[in-house]
Amino acid sequence: MKNARLIRTCFVEQGWWLRAAVVACVWVFSGVLAQAKDSHDAGTQFDIRRGTNISHWLSQSDKRGEARRAWFTEKDVKYIASLGFDHIRLPADEEQLWDERGNKEKEAFELLHNAINWCKDNKLRVVVDLHILRSHHFNAKDKPLWTDPNAQERFLQLWREISAELKKYPVGLVAYELMNEPVADDAEDWNELVEKAIREIRKTEANRKIVVGSNRWQSVDTFDRLRIPQGDRNIILSFHFYTPMLITHYKASWTGVGKYTGPVNYPGQIVTDKDMEGLSEEMAQLARRNNGVYNREVFEKLIQKPLSVARKYNLPLYCGEWGALPTVPREARMLWYADVRSVLEENNIAWANWDYKGGFGIIGRDGQGDEGFIKVLIGSRAAKDR
């Protein structure tokens, strides 16, 4: 049994192309986000396939000054490009870009411009993601954005100012993501705010690509409640994918499911009946609430709502976040990545893994690229060249 498990691990980390060869061939010759098949100026086409999230730099970080400048540099951009990624998703928080009086933080905006220009020089595209607002954090209990008209006006003003800063960049280089993981009690609250924000941006940028996600953490389950302005061809629909949480957030301290520390498996039933034996009642309850059978076929079924909405509007799809923590057993983690990636790519869904060098990252704690992981994720052989 031990030898069989070793063979499976080698298959995933060293010979993953046997599983994904057909997908890769189709992927190379198809532009997932191309709006037309004929040739166009590169400055007008925002064509992306595979990207990575630059977390904990301009978002979810207390780093400032030299520590913040050193966290992500042009060297990182060159490395990302060398691996074969074609874009980055760049989360940025209100509290980093603006002080409490609403004044722009000069250094933070300089770093944002630096990142865009580094990407331009290295032929990468950028999704600028307004990640966390002072009035909205996706995991906070209190979210004034949905109840306070002043908070909504502030949100619109943020986008007026971001647009004024970034509209000089080609639409083929930079896209805007309105907000990360909206969590409204009523999906219509988000739909109405989306309509207002897009209307503001369109006053000065008619052709800018705008990424819009579904309500409640950009879940696939709520995608059929998403409503966008009819006739706007410059929108990209987005969802996030962290299913099943017993795998992706195994032992994650910030989540309830992370309190489960018993055995997990993938593919198949995440916690088997045998694994249940000997668990404490608390652990067993956590397992039962989150357990299930998960595999590639299940993932294919789970993304049907986003695919249906994309067909309805005739718009491209983007999985802006997906990932599994390294706390999960290595073999299960690599198999999960291989399956999710193949489902996304076979359905022409562009993606950005979460994340580059955070807790889920392709860069390990030693500062080096995880070569086996990168091969599963993107097939690159450049991991050691960082």
pLDDT tens for each residue of 22-41: 444 444 444 444 333 333 34
Cα–Cα distance for residue pair 145/344, rounded to 1 Å: 32
pLDDT-based confidence at residue 43 (cuts at 50, 70, 90): low
- For the chain, the average pLDDT equals 90
pLDDT tens for each residue of 204-223: 999 999 999 999 999 999 99
Q: How far is CA 383 from CA 17, 47, 279, 373, in A?
A: 17, 24, 39, 9
How do beta strands 268-269 and 293-294 pair?
A: antiparallel
- The dotted CATH code for 2-32+46-244+301-385 is 3.20.20.80
Cα–Cα distance for residue pair 320/322, rounded to 1 Å: 7
Give the per-residue pLDDT at 41.
40
Residue 325 has pLDDT above 90, yes or no: yes
Q: Mean of the pLDDT values across residues 195-204?
A: 98
Residue 259 has pLDDT above 70, yes or no: yes
Give the per-residue pLDDT at 346.
97
CA 207 to chain centre: 23
What are the backbone dihedrals phi and psi of residue 102, each rounded to the nearest 5 degrees, phi first? Answer: 90, 10
Contact 119, 157 (CB under 8 A): no
Give the per-residue pLDDT at 278.
86
Query: Where along the chain do its domains lie?
Result: 2-32+46-244+301-385
Give the per-residue pLDDT at 385.
52
Helix axes 149-166, 106-121, angle to 10 degrees: 50
Residues whose CB is less than 8 angstroms from the CB of residue 341 and which lie 6 or more positions away in sequence, other chains included: 20, 351, 376, 377
Q: In this structure, is the dihedral angle defined by the CA atoms of residues 58, 61, 63 and 67, taken in order, positive or negative?
A: negative
Q: Mean of the pLDDT values across residues 175-202?
A: 98
Residue 296 has pLDDT above 50, yes or no: yes
Residue 232 has pLDDT above 80, yes or no: yes
pLDDT tens for each residue of 100-146: 999 999 999 999 999 999 999 999 999 999 999 999 999 888 999 99
pLDDT tens for each residue of 167-177: 999 999 999 99
Give the per-residue pLDDT at 365.
87
Structure tokens at 373: 């992981």
pLDDT-based confidence at residue 383 (cuts at 50, 70, 90): very low
Residue 370 has pLDDT above 60, yes or no: yes
Instruction: Give the predicted TM-score (pTM) of the model.
Output: 0.89
Residues whose CB is less than 8 angstroms from the CB of residue 57 and which lie 6 or more positions away in sequence, other chains included: 63, 68, 71, 72, 90, 91, 111
Q: Mean of the pLDDT values across residues 359-370?
A: 94
